[in-house]
Structure 1
């Protein structure tokens, strides 16, 4: 398992993530989300919805991992989206994701 998924798992164990479309939207709109991760397997509509919300609320958005990867990290079978609601964890995850993109 890669470092990003491991870090998401740690954040989840610490209670610092929310997952599932409704919970992630609520975290974004409540200004609780510090980073949002959407599976690369998500539908174009789902990606567009989160892109628009994250742009509006100025929250970093990443398309990363399969639904199984995100599910495993959050203790579920599959997950399409998740939000990191802790600033420290989000900074670490964002740094890892930025490094992987480059």
Structure 2
């Protein structure tokens, strides 16, 4: 399992992650989201909605892994996106994803 997926689980347990398209969009709008992770196999519609919102609010995003990998890391079913709500976690995620 990739290191960023372990970190995602950790961030989720630390309550620094929001899930669900509406919650994520709300967090982007309110500037609470510091990074949005989107599954590579999310629907085109979902990807477009989230990436457009991230771009207009200048929130970084990354397309990573699959819905199965993200769901497994969170211990939830069928998750295609997650918003990270913590600067420290975001720095570490970007470091791990870009390596």
> TM-score, with normalisation over the residues of structure 1?
0.92
Contact 1:69–1:78 (8 Å) recurs in 2: no
Q: 2:23 maps to which residue?
A: 23
What is the Cα deviation at residue 69 of structure 1?
1.0
Q: How many equivalent residue pairs?
A: 99
Q: Distance in 2 between matches of 1:88 and 1:6?
A: 15
Q: 1:5 maps to which residue?
A: 5
Contact 1:27–1:33 (8 Å) recurs in 2: yes
Structure 2: gaps of 5 or more residues: none
Note the 1:1-102 alignment, pairs <5 A. Answer: 1-99=1-99
Tell me which stretches of 4 or more aligned residues in structure 1 moved more than 4 Å. none
> TM-score, with normalisation over the residues of structure 2?
0.95
Q: Distance in 2 between matches of 1:72 and 1:16?
A: 17
User: What is the root-mean-square deviation of aligned Cα atoms in Å?
Assistant: 0.9
Q: Distance in 1 between matches of 2:72 and 2:23?
A: 18
